[in-house]
Amino acid sequence: MASDLSGIVESSFPTGALVPKAETGVLNFLQKYPDYDGRDVTIAIFDSGVDPRATGLETLCDGKTLKVIERFDCSGCGDVDMSKKLTPDEKGNFKGLSGRTLKLSPELIALNTDKDGAVRVGLKSFNDLVPAKVRDNIVAQAKLKSWDKPHKTATANASRKIVEFEAQNPGEASKLPWDKKIVKENLDFELEMLNSYEKLYNDIKTSFDCVLFPTDNGWLTIIDTTEQGDLEKALRIGEYSKTHETKNVDDFLSVSVNVHDDGNVLEVVGMCSPHGTHVASIASGNHSSRDIDGVAPNAKIVSLTIGDGRLGSMETGTALIRGIMKVMDLCREGRRIDVINMSYGEHSNWSNSGRIGELMNEVVNKYGVVWVASAGNHGPALSTVGTPPDISQPSLIGVGAYVSPQMMEAEYAMREKLPGNVYTWTSRDPCIDGGQGVTVCAPGGAITSVPQFTMSKSQLMNGTSMAAPHVAGAVALLISGLKQQNIAYSPYSIKRAISVTATKLGYVDPYAQGHGLLNVEKAFEHLVEHRQSKDNMMRFSVRVGASQDKGIHLREGVQRKFVDFNVNIEPVFFNDKEADPKDKFNFNVRLNLIPSQSWVQCGSFLDLSYGVRSIVVRIDPTSLQPGVHSAVVKAYDTDCVQKGPLFEIPITVVQPHVLENVQSTPVFEPTTQRADKSVEFQPNTIQRDFILVPDKATWAVLRLRLTDPNRGNDIGKFFLHTNQLLPHQSCRKLETMKIIGVNSEFEATATFPVKANKILELCIAKYWSNHGQSHLKYSLEFRGVAAQNPNAYVMHAGRGIHPLEVGVLVAEEIQPLLQLKNAAVVLKPSEAKISPLSATRDVIPEGRQIYQSLLVYNLNVAKAAEVALYAPLFNDLLYESEFESQMWMLFDVNKSLIATGDAHSHNFYTKLEKGEYTVRLQVRHEKRDLLEKIAEANLIAAYKLPNMLALDFYDSYNQCIVSGRKFTSAKVRETNKMLYIAPIAQDRITKANLPAQCAWLSGNLVFPKDEAGRRIALHPFTYVLNPAEKKAASNGAANGGSSNNASPAAAAAVNANAAKPKAQATPQGATNTANSAGGDADTLQKEVPANASGGAPSSPQKGKTSADDYAESLRDFQCSHIAKCELEKAEKIYNEVVAAHPKHLPAHLQFIQNIESTELKTQLPLAFVAAHQKRSSEGDDGSVDKQRDDNSQKQRSALERIVKLADIVIKETDADALLSYYGLKNDTRPDATKIKTNMDKQKNNLIEALSKKGIAVAKLCVLENNLKEHLAELNDIYTEIIKFVDANDSKAIQFAMWHAYAHDHYGRMYKYVSKMIEDKRTRDHFEELAAINGALGYEHTKAVIDRMTVTAFPNSFRLF
């Protein structure tokens, strides 16, 4: 059998195609020049981080020299605030920021060279140092290792206890006596607790204590990964620049560290995705097998992380600028960065300006670094090149993605090879401003190394992200050879060489390949041959028109006449400011300008010295057929034509199809020679049609079907990409991208929005890997209905009825629907502070200090909601922004980080619980005066409404006024249809529970009845609310309540009644209204007139004098200060009040509050018990014992006094009368409202007194160690309380906790603490939860709660 198979099974694998190099001549180059393998060259990888321990990235070709020589996280995601210094005690113990006691071993103490022996402490959440998928793996492994077994056992035992209880107590649980009922509740709550932790486990974040101190070999970082405080067993790691250490935190995550600002900032470097390691492996991987090497295996790597883990892995302005500054610093230190690879980018709204682009140009033009960037994966439509390479100057090398037949075989396991081509999705030229973004194309896929946390040795990735490092590696080969031959070069000579020598692929989309497929051998030969060229150290700036475009791009309507463009051309020396003036003076070049197409005209010759010359380029598109047409004006040096063009002026003209017949539904069909009107598609065939969208069109329907006979269900895989370019907006603003399966049996359809009178590119491509020939018949039908009047989609409530003049493209059935889904609140900064950033990390050479403007906003969320935050001034801007950062971080009241956002945060919603939040927004720039201009920048909080608000339509103005007959649907023809929308009624606004200070509502308005149109033709609609009314203190109608729908007379009556003085005898004192609201219960009850009528007198109540009013006001004022004053003063006031008003019960409660705040620390049961046990076990020193005894006695006295004061309130309150009153179903007395108010005050006073007494009794029992002997007394208090309120009521829950503790009901304790946490999250609550689980013997859940506590309660706001 083996001998038979040997003739069938291939004995070798095409490993050379896993990391392709033959296609671009890399293999031939290295065979010819084996020493030009990247040695003496350093590549900086701007990406998600590089793993120095990944296969192939450990060393250079000698097997000894480290490959990844520097490793920085420029994003700030890994930064830890280490500004706090502590000195350990003589045993090496000190308190970490987690609250744990940390211990240094003698060995570690000896390493510390700080003059005072001090250490720096910080706390770091490791949640965002790894990708989400890896995080899930880490959590899953930890769960399997230390959670599942004990938790399943605990859950089974809890379930078993419930079954046993139910067997012993048959019948319905609701009919059990109260003491049995709480036992059952306790068991149920314990099981509920275990189940809730199971659900919560995957969301728990881990934070570790970090310790930092100086040693003889630089800073030493200790990360307490044990979470036990024993630093001898913790992770130790030195600075990467000195030790090159990378160590594992667990089986998945490895980190390195850097230290900044004299130890104040620790930078923990992780990786936010595998992307950066894969990219570095393509550029410079060094393996034992040369077949799978990277392009330049002997090049060094500097890893600069620009992806921020807080944002998934998106790059930020801060990270990019810090990365650029690090490159500058290294170049200035003599540790030159030769090449930058950046396989990252976004799409900009414009590219001719922007802070980040300016600094990118500076790196190239001043420091001579060759910057290679991926063009993007956003094709196949035109003008989809990303930023970078599309920045203000064409200084970068942009790379498109190519796939060869060998790659198809080895990487994609395709059943047959296809001709080499670009990938369907690779981004296309031109840039929006007409420039050329794609310089060359290169292999865009590889199977190579990835980080260890993936648990995989290698992985297939494809994209222009993989093509760019191939070119970066190739540039490293070129520079390696040039250095060894002592040939001077510049980024300009490198870019010109690879452009001029690239292999143009005639059958491949010209907009995707740039100058063609990279050819390393020819590029090197070109550089060597023209080594003496005077322009090697020079670039030629080409600027078109007033907007300073990089090229000419005509894509506005039908081009019916010629257009002249002024083009400015300026030669600029490398590092122009430091260039020799003689070189500038002596420079002259005589150029021959050659247009590539007859419809482009310009002068043939140009004499160019060192200065700006302007030429006119005429474009005459009048003879051009519909479609896209490209040309280029090439400028050759007449002294050396064979060198190739010194610069080019790229030109793109789009001539659209115009649909003439507007009487019927406009339909576009492609021009074809086939009888069945189909178009032939081979794999990767691209059909582009440019259509001028008819006036009033708002959506289009594309219909597709294969016409091939006998294809049956054989599906063709087609990539649909439609695009309309809008002024100063990126190519992504109005586009559709989808893959559609098409066969001959059924018609496939796609519906997408369009904008009238703008050119639409309809791009249909057969996917590159979809085998076989297909014939596709397709048509595009335009439909349209929209409001024609100005500002139709912005409605101001204050302007009343809002008109809509609805017009249609052709006759259309309309059924309008307006739904408002979001509410916007404008947040004003409560603080705006400008300050210089790090003097070592945030200074652009030389001495250009970067400043930050830190704006702080307060956000109040009244109830749980989904909220998106964004700063309108900066939103949707990154590379094109004037400022280099706009990151915001959202923190809860405990300073725990909840969410982070940056340039594109307006569509990302975060679920927020009720509470107070702080938003901190950082904007950075080197010019302080620019930051001063944004000190009042607003932040928008957009809330998702729980229930959408739908507005009604009317086709009559008068019907709209009276809310009469509503409009539902109608057919609209040539004549426009008028519709009207009425403002939202105030009662609907009130019921909608909008957030406070809501400024506007937003949603979508749709007109068509057609289902496909309703999904697609959405018009964003904004409803501007009236400014919020200021609520008057004493006027109930000011809140918009009872007077909303009343007549003027009724509203006046409400106002008149609201203005009258209250008829109750004792006004509510200025006390704690939640717990101590109310006056003297008996007196209040007696003083309410038995026959009081609804019309209270306008003068003070009969029998009351001014002296009475004064006495009561004085009493209430005194009571309000009892709880606030020092104990001695408070007691004096208390005695005065009680002497003058012996029946005024709130005075006793206020005094209890004072005693609690001054004499007793508010503690939950297990925390109180733990503190008492700790005090009891402390030392044998006589003075310590005496102090402890004194404190204990003081505590007992305070608790005993609380019991006595509470007993006064309890004794003086007629509980039976209260119960009788609350037993009434209806109170028909005329003064029922006043009676209820007084009864509620009495009830609250009684509950508070019972609760305070119960807690004091329980604490006394703990101090005397006789809690079980007083269960009956605690039960009596508990049963009295639950006559009036549930045990988890806010007035009773504190005592309920103690009652549950007394009975060892830890399940009930959990439930009560959970309720407290819902109202307010505090560290004490979480620590009590941990203690509850410890008391139950659940050490695994206790450990998890401890972990949650550390993360949920940081000491300070997280660093940007």
Q: 575-598, pLDDT tens digit by residue?
A: 999 999 999 999 999 999 999 999
3-state secondary structure of 1090: coil
Catalytically active residues are 47, 275, 465
- For residue 1037, pLDDT over 90 is answered with no
Higher pLDDT, residue 573 or 1157: 573
- Joined together, the tokens standing for residue 1185 give 């014992």
| Burial of residue 1289 (number of CB atoms within 10 Å: 0-12, 13-18, 19+) | middle
DSSP 1174-1232: HHHHS---HHHHHHHHHHHHHHHHHHHHHHHHHHHHHHHS-HHHHHHHHH-S---STTH
Kindly report the pTM of this predicted structure: 0.89
pLDDT one-digit tens code per residue, 825-866: 999 999 999 999 999 999 999 889 999 999 999 999 999 999
**pLDDT score at 1103:** 52
How high is the pLDDT of residue 710? Answer: 67
Mean pLDDT, residues 1092-1115 taken together? 59
Per-residue confidence (pLDDT) for residue 1110, from 0 to 100: 85
**Residues 490-514: tens digit of each pLDDT:** 999 999 999 999 999 999 999 999 9
Tokens 């009930």 found at = 1308
Span 671-679, average pLDDT: 88
Model confidence pLDDT, tens digit, residues 356-400: 999 999 999 999 999 999 999 999 999 999 999 999 999 999 999
The answer to whether the CB of 271 falls within 8 A of the CB of 453 is yes
Has residue 1059 got a pLDDT over 60? no
CA 1327, CA 207: separation in Å to the nearest integer?
Answer: 16
* pLDDT tops 70 at residue 952: yes
Before 556, cis peptide (omega within 30)? no
Mean pLDDT on 780-799? 95
Please report which confidence band the pLDDT of residue 1105 belongs to, taking 50, 70 and 90 as the band edges. Answer: low
Contact 812, 934 (CB under 8 A): no
pLDDT tens, residue by residue, 274-318: 999 999 999 999 998 888 999 999 999 999 999 999 999 999 999
pLDDT at 1082: 35
Cβ atoms of 97 and 1355 closer than 8 Å: yes
Q: Are 329 and 323 in contact (CB under 8 A)?
A: no
pLDDT at 253: 83
Q: What is residue 1081's predicted lDDT score, i.e. its pLDDT?
A: 35
Q: Which of 917, 880, 920 shows the shortest CA–CA distance to 900?
A: 920
Tell me: pLDDT of 618 over 50.
Answer: yes
Give me the pLDDT at residue 942, please.
97
Sheet holding 802-808, edge to edge: 785-787, 802-808, 977-981, 953-954
Is the pLDDT at 875 greater than 60, yes or no? yes
Kindly tell me if the per-residue pLDDT of 1267 is higher than 50.
Answer: yes
Question: β-pairing, 370-374 with 397-403?
Answer: parallel
The residues with which 891 forms a beta bridge, in sequence order, are 897, 918
Q: Which of 799-803, 1099-1103, 1140-1144, 1331-1335 has the lowest mean pLDDT?
A: 1099-1103
Asked if 1051 and 1039 count as a contact pair (C-beta separation under 8 A), the reply is: no
- DSSP label at residue 392: S
pLDDT at residue number 454? 85
pLDDT at 763 over 90: yes
Q: What is the mean pLDDT of residues 7-24?
A: 82
The token duo for 63 is 């097997």
Across 860-873, average pLDDT: 95
| CB-neighbour burial class of residue 1190 (10 A; exposed 0-12, middle 13-18, buried 19+) | exposed
pLDDT confidence of 1092, banded at 50, 70, 90?
very low
pLDDT computed for residue 1098 by the predictor: 37
Q: pLDDT grade, residue 1058 (50/70/90)? A: very low
Please check the confidence at residue 267 and state whether its pLDDT lies above 70: yes
Q: Which of 439-448, 554-563, 1170-1179 has the lowest mean pLDDT?
A: 1170-1179
The pLDDT of residue 170 is 86
Which one is predicted more confidently, 1076 or 237? 237
**Residues comprising the chain, all counted:** 1360
pLDDT of residue 1085: 35
- Residues with Cβ within 8 Å of 853's Cβ and at least 6 positions away in sequence, in order, are 832, 833, 834, 922, 923, 924, 925, 931, 932, 934, 935
Give the angle subtended at the CA of 318 by the CAs of 314 and 324, to the nearest 5°.
100
**For the chain, what is the mean pLDDT?**
89
Burial of 288 (0-12, 13-18, 19+ CB in 10 A): exposed
How confident is residue 1077, by pLDDT bands cut at 50, 70 and 90?
Answer: very low
**pLDDT tens string 1286-1327:** 998 989 999 999 999 999 999 999 999 999 998 888 999 999
End-to-end alpha-carbon separation of the chain, Å? 66
